[in-house]
């Protein structure tokens, strides 16, 4: 195997990356470029980050397949405790029937 061409290839590739158009890409507008391509790149990076965060939320969020089952059980127990406290407050007359219904909708699974 002849690896003598690799240093020349790497040198030309690094020269290409050091050109003004690629220096600090994608976070600057480059030389002679308008603001619109810079905004488009920023939106693209934001979109990619949003997709990654949504994917992680679906995997590890409530009801996600990779979420720890203990967290689900703790959340269920907390919801039951809050419902019981809400019922006690209604029975004691601290809140109205309308407030009770609104809070129960909020605690709905």
Residues 63-72: b if buried by 16+ CB within 10 A, e if exposed: eeeeeeeeee
This model's pTM is above 0.75: no
Q: Could you tell me the residue range of the domain that residue 81 belongs to?
A: 68-109
Per-residue tokens: 92: 């004691």
Domain count for the chain: 2
Encode pLDDT of 20-52 as tens digits.
Answer: 665 556 555 555 566 777 778 889 999 999 999
In contact, 90 and 97? CB cutoff 8 Å: yes
Q: What is the Cα–Cα distance from 8 to 40, expressed in whole angstroms?
A: 34
Mean pLDDT of the chain: 81
| Whole-number CA gyration radius for the chain | 28
Q: Do 30 and 59 belong to one domain?
A: yes
Q: Do 29 and 61 belong to one domain?
A: yes
Q: Do 30 and 13 belong to one domain?
A: yes
Q: What is the Cα–Cα distance from 102 to 89, expressed in whole angstroms?
A: 14
Across 69-92, average pLDDT: 88
Q: Do 97 and 45 belong to one domain?
A: no
Q: Do 60 and 107 belong to one domain?
A: no
């Amino acid at each position: 195997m002849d690896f003598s061409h690799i240093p020349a290839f790497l040198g030309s590739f690094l020269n290409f990356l050091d050109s003004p158009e690629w220096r600090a890409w994608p976070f600057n507008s480059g030389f002679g470029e308008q603001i619109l391509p810079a905004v488009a790149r920023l939106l693209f990076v934001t979109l990619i980050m949003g997709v990654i965060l949504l994917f992680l939320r679906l995997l590890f969020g409530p009801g996600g397949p990779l979420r720890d089952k203990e967290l689900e059980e703790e959340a269920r127990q907390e919801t039951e405790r809050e419902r019981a406290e809400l019922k006690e407050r209604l029975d004691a007359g601290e809140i109205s029937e309308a407030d009770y219904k609104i809070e129960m909708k909020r605690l709905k699974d």
